[in-house]
Amino acid sequence: MFSRRRFLFLLFLLLLCFLGLSYRVLNLSYFNQNYYRNFINDARATKTVKKAIRGKILDCNGSILAITTVKIDIGVDPYVIDEQKDQEKIVQLAVLLEKKPEDITIFFKRESHIRDGKERRARWRKMVTIDDEDCYRKIKDLHIKGIYGNTRSERVYPNNELASHIIGFVNREGVAISGIERFLDHFLCGEDGWIVSEKNGKREEIALFRKSVVEPHNGSDVSLTIELSVQTIAEQALRRAMEELGAKSGTVIVSVPNTGAILVLCNVPTFNCNGYAQSEVDSLRNRAITDTYEPGSVFKIVPFSMALQQRLISLDQCFDCSSETFPYGDRHYNLPHDHTFFGKLSAMDVLRKSSNRGLAQIGIILGAEQLYQAARAFGFGEKTGYGFDGEAAGFLPRPKLWDSLTITRLPMGHAISATPLQVHQAMGVIASGGYLLKPKVISRILGDQEEMTVATEPRIVRQVLVPDIAKKLGEVLHNPQSSSSSIAGIKLAYKTGTSQKLINGTYSREHHVASCSGFFPLENPQFLITVVLDDPTMPTGGTAYGIRAAYPAFAEIAQQLITFKDLR
């Protein structure tokens, strides 16, 4: 029997359902329509990044030092591919990959592994990596189900270890870590583009509904002052010297004196830019700008040239280098020892024969404050402005911190520390005609249309010497009486240095740093070379003086440059 009460209850339930549905419709279509509209759009929309191609790094002649290449990893999903059905296509695939069919089908074996206690199928097995995009297009045209590729960019350094401390490297995540790669990362990396469109249920793009396309802006190319052929000459000479002398490390710098343009900067130990992860951490350090040492006798050009410029001494002035003391003013100064006995020497011979006692007397005549200011003027105690991270400023104490011996030890290159690049820059003052130049390694930065966007000009930090004094110093450093003063008729001007290493607070008699810095041709300097060897030992015994250890490498590089550049 029909019950009125039951009817009203059912009617109430239907009304309640209707009201609930109505509220839901209003909630979706009116109250929260923006939220759900955005949710749906986000579910359908896709934003695909179009990676910019990193700019190339080139040497001064356009040779490639670093380049980004496209790599495509071709792989297979063993659980999708049908080997029987696509047998003919697999043969064609083998031809495209220059493989035998059996070398490909071994990747079709289905495998699984245990992870987190669960068995998981191996759904991707890389077969080969190619860099031919046209080949990849042909592979896709085969339409083999389960065969697909992943495209990635890879930074490649064609010369491996050559100039590695200048170039630096980019890690596998695309982050610039060191060298030019990091210093000019803003220019090299470019700007990524993107595509905003919609996708279907299979997560495939619906090109018809593309909303925006922003093309990537590729990175700029960077041209360096480094010359690859000269870098090769220098690195080979440095390696030979180190192997012969068993040195712990070594540095060679070659530059153009009147511009400061660096043609070579190499350190050993070094590293392979393509295999940086397998290199020792110590080999990644750019010793030319991070490691400091007492420059020794190479520093003697500083007090000598400044005293000469201020007319406190003359080239023919006589100095008694046999005496252990030097009376000046109201004091008697104790003089350092010489490596051999010298009697009375002219100022010119004091520098040529590298008399510690003679230079100490010149330093005393110059005075503490002027000696300090001379060292500062030549760039000691401050960074060169080379620009890369990690550059050391060296150590140059102010006169108020000097002890009683500093005035006689500083002129011979003790009580001071400098990087190889600082020593190189100081010798460049003589070679350039009296100017301290900022070292330059960047020649220009080019846009993707090969238009010059940035050009770096030579930068004069300050004038240190008048040209006439710089010319006289060059003539003194030439020393025509020495058999090593010329190569193939080209006059050299150089100064060697030998500094004892501080070990446990004491100067060692067995451990030295040998160096040689100079330039040529004397009349019109075109090349400035500095060689520094840490802890060399002579195979024939005896002290590894700069003239015995560092000069041969200097001369070898000079000889090859004279021939290579046809300076004769």
Q: What is the pLDDT of residues 52-62, one digit of tens each?
A: 889 999 999 99
Q: What is the pLDDT of residues 209-227, one digit of tens each?
A: 556 677 788 889 999 999 9
* Residue 506's pLDDT band (cuts 50, 70, 90): confident
Q: What is the pLDDT of residue 518?
A: 97
User: Is the bond into 269 cis (omega within 30 degrees of 0)?
Assistant: yes
Q: What is the pLDDT of residues 119-140, one digit of tens each?
A: 777 777 888 888 888 888 888 8
One-letter amino acid of 93: L
- 239-248, 366-375, 387-396, 468-477: range with lowest mean pLDDT: 387-396
One-letter amino acid of 506: T
- Residue 522 vs residue 46, higher pLDDT: 522
Identify the H or E element spanning 49: strand 45-50
Q: What is the pLDDT of residues 352-392, one digit of tens each?
A: 999 999 999 999 999 999 999 999 999 999 999 887 888 99
Q: What are the residue boundaries of the structural domains of the chain, listed by start?
A: 228-564
* One CATH from 3.40.50.2000, 3.40.50.10860, 3.40.50.300, 3.40.710.10 for 228-564: 3.40.710.10
CB-CB contact of 555 with 549 (8 Å): no
The C-alpha atoms of residue 247 and residue 250 are separated, in whole angstroms, by 7
Q: How many CB atoms lie within 10 A of CB 482?
A: 12
In order, the DSSP letters of 57-108 are EE-TTS-EEEEEEEEEEEEE-TTT--TTTTHHHHHHHHHHTT--HHHHHGGG
Q: Give this prediction's pTM.
A: 0.85
* Whole-number average pLDDT of the chain: 88
Distinct helix (H) and strand (E) counts, the chain = 19, 26
The C-alpha atoms of residue 557 and residue 236 are separated, in whole angstroms, by 9
Q: What is the mean pLDDT of residues 266-288?
A: 93
Q: What is the pLDDT of residues 415-454, one digit of tens each?
A: 999 999 999 999 999 999 999 999 999 999 987 655 566 6
CA of 223: how far to CAs of 59, 180, 230, 233, in Å? 6, 10, 16, 20
* Residue 85's pLDDT band (cuts 50, 70, 90): confident
Output the CA torsion 323→329→331→336 (10° steps).
-40
* Residue 42's pLDDT band (cuts 50, 70, 90): low
Q: What is the pLDDT of residue 210?
A: 59
